[in-house]
Chains A and B, each alone.
Chain A
Amino acid sequence: MVKYIIKKLIILIVTVLAVSFVIFMLFSIIPSDPAVNKLGINATEESLAALRAEYGLEGPVLVRYFRYIGGVCTLDFGKSYTYGMKVSQLIGERIFINIVLSLMSLIIVTVVSIPVGMLLAHVDKTKWENFIEIINQVVMSMPPFLLGIILTFIFGIIFKFFSPGRYIAYNKDFWGFMGYMICPALALSLPKCAMCIRLLRSSILEEKKKDYVKVALAKGNSNGRALYKHILVNAIMPTITFISMILADMIAQGIVVEQVFSLPGLGRCLLNAISTRDYPVIEGIILIIATSIVVIGTLNDIIHAVIDPRIREDL
């Protein structure tokens, strides 16, 4: 088990290093000199060299890469070209919004979809089934940003629960901020909830047909106990994998949803950086997102191994 976790951690580190290498290389091969961009073509050679040294642009690519990685280990992502401040500071101010958004959506998905999926597996073959299927299909097909606009329209403009586009900073009014985040989190999580409910329901129905359920019932287990102790343990496995994939997807989709609700998170920072060609910021943000996705994948594998004895024994 410990060996398995260590192996997974090594793969994690290698993958993150590879991602950082690819991203760094991509940005170093493009012919663009930020020092010239900033100071203009008439700048003197000394001032250009000084600025390059400040941004860490001198030396061969590999040396720069290792310096960059060394910096990243101490959470130093270099210096932004446009803002003139450290990228880590820039990201640090904004990442809280993304963390709250992702965690809130994750909580909504888990809290809503697991009970509802179990409930719907019970109401199998009733007249509700078709109705639920249709609702599920419609919600599932909604892109998060469109759902965000619909939620803004319903709750912001018709019911006036919040004022659209009026973001409340978390360091000013924390609970107001949390309230404002509910709509973005809903926009992000509702389609995923629908997918998750369907997945859990279909895997419960599939497991129900298997022989071990018959054995469990024959031994005198009640229906409910068979569901909780026997079926759910097996049926939840694909759902856990799916939730981890969803979480990764939600982190990426969050960037679009941020724009709908004009949240000043990493997404807006990334878009600004793209339009001003502020490469250290782009690198830093993409690296953080990619790292979090790799970490989620690894956690998923480890959780699987912990829960499922069949995988555990194989190790």
Chain B
Amino acid sequence: MKKRIDSSLVIGYVILGLFVLFVLIGLFYEPYDGNYMNLSDKLATPSFKHFFGCDQYGRDIYVRVQYGLRNSLIIGLSSTFFGGMAGVIIGAVCGYFGGVVDAVIMRIVDVLFAIPSIILALLFVSLFNSNMFNVILALSLAMIPSFTKMIRSEFHVIRKSDYVLASRMYGSSHIRIIFREILPNVYPIIINCMFIAFNNSILAEAGLSYLGVGLQPPAASLGNMISQAQGYLATAPHYIIIVGVIMIVLLIGLGLVSEGGSWHSAYNRRFKN
């Protein structure tokens, strides 16, 4: 049992590593300009000239996929980072101090929790413009509640433990206890949360751009490529197959990594309090 979890973790990291490598290669070497339209190559099937074929405007899908993955990774990583940071800090403060502040903040978090991330992002984009910054902002905001709830319930338990008391007696400040004593103990949970959140934000971004409110064309993203490819389902199935397979493999890699055996417990904890 133990061995299998490890092997799936390794496979997950390998998949993610390959994707990162693929994106990095794109920074140094592009066979074509991803926005260059060559109508004579319209919907060309994969060949040595175009590894993944071409889309309906004759743009090279290989380069477009690279662009799209790059955008997805940027959005996913930065929203996970900002949302996660904010969530962890809020959760830590709420869980550690408790009291009135905790009650008020948790009500606000409940409000945010009631609006699904994709709807929150839609709301945001409808209020402001849809560009990368706003998408990142919306997704980070949507991520805060689950982090906060998770970290808060952990802190709530740990703050009563003996080592916290001991540290208090040594005269440590609250901030030191939160960041130096308790936080390292909830570190595995944060990492786990981060991977789940990263997974969700990539999904949400793809959903948004599939709906046409995420990144605006000509910027490439996996979601808007899928939505374009859907129109050529019967005439050029290679387009949807390539983009779809890439997306699924990416999500499988993320799923394998984020599981790490404690997927179950991660979801369990989320609703404990």
Residue positions of A touching B, CB distance < 8 A: 11, 14-16, 18-19, 22-23, 26-27, 30, 130, 137-138, 140-143, 145-146, 149-150, 152-153, 157, 164, 198-199, 202-203, 206, 238, 241-242, 245, 248-249, 251-253, 255-256, 259-260, 270-271, 273-274, 277, 282, 286, 289-291, 293-294, 297, 300
Question: Which 3 A-B residue pairings sit nearest by Cβ, starting from the closest?
Answer: A252-B116, A141-B251, A274-B126
Q: Is the CB of A141 within 8 A of B248?
A: yes
Question: Contacts A140-B255, A153-B237, A199-B267 hold; do A19 and B114 have CB atoms under 8 A apart?
Answer: yes
* B interface bracket (residues with beta carbon within 8 Å of A): 35 or more
Q: Is the CB of A149 within 8 A of B226?
A: yes
Q: Is the CB of B116 within 8 A of A249?
A: yes
Q: Is the CB of A256 within 8 A of B211?
A: yes
B203 to chain A, nearest CB (A): 5
A248: chain B residues within 8 A (beta carbon): 116
B203: chain A residues within 8 A (beta carbon): 143
Complex Cα distance A271/B227, Å?
A: 15
Question: Contacts A153-B233, A248-B116 hold; do A26 and B127 have CB atoms under 8 A apart?
Answer: yes
Per a CB cutoff under 8 Å, which of B8, B127, B211, B268 touches A238?
B268
The answer to whether the Cβ of B122 comes within 8 Å of any Cβ in the partner chain is yes
The answer to whether the Cβ of B271 comes within 8 Å of any Cβ in the partner chain is yes
Per a CB cutoff under 8 Å, which of B111, B116, B123 touches A282?
B123
Q: Is the CB of A238 within 8 A of B247?
A: no
A291: chain B residues within 8 A (beta carbon): 114
B122: chain A residues within 8 A (beta carbon): 255, 270-271, 274
- Central interface residue in A30, A249, A256, by most chain B CB within 10 Å: A256
Q: Is the CB of B116 within 8 A of A19?
A: no
Q: Is the CB of B119 within 8 A of A255?
A: yes
Q: Is the CB of B248 within 8 A of A138?
A: yes
Complex Cα distance A209/B107, Å?
A: 38
Complex Cα distance A98/B207, Å?
A: 18
Q: Is the CB of A289 within 8 A of B119?
A: yes
Q: Is the CB of B126 within 8 A of A145?
A: no
Question: Contacts A142-B251, A143-B207, A271-B213 hold; do A252 and B256 have CB atoms under 8 A apart?
Answer: no
B245 to chain A, nearest CB (A): 10
Question: Contacts A149-B226, A251-B116 hold; do A242 and B267 have CB atoms under 8 A apart?
Answer: yes
- The SS class assigned to the A binding surface is helix
Complex Cα distance A52/B65, Å?
A: 48
Query: Can you list 22 contacts pairing A with B, beta carbon distance less than 8 Å?
Result: A14-B107, A16-B114, A19-B114, A19-B115, A22-B111, A26-B127, A30-B127, A137-B252, A140-B255, A143-B251, A145-B207, A146-B248, A248-B116, A251-B116, A252-B118, A252-B119, A255-B211, A271-B122, A286-B115, A286-B119, A290-B115, A300-B271
Per a CB cutoff under 8 Å, which of A18, A253, A294, A297 touches B207?
A253
User: Nearest chain-B residue to A27 (Cβ)?
Assistant: B127
Question: Contacts A141-B248, A238-B267 hold; do A15 and B226 have CB atoms under 8 A apart?
Answer: no
Q: Is the CB of B255 within 8 A of A137?
A: yes
Q: Is the CB of B252 within 8 A of A138?
A: yes
Chain B residues 103-158 with CB under 8 Å of chain A are 107-108, 110-111, 114-119, 122-123, 125-127
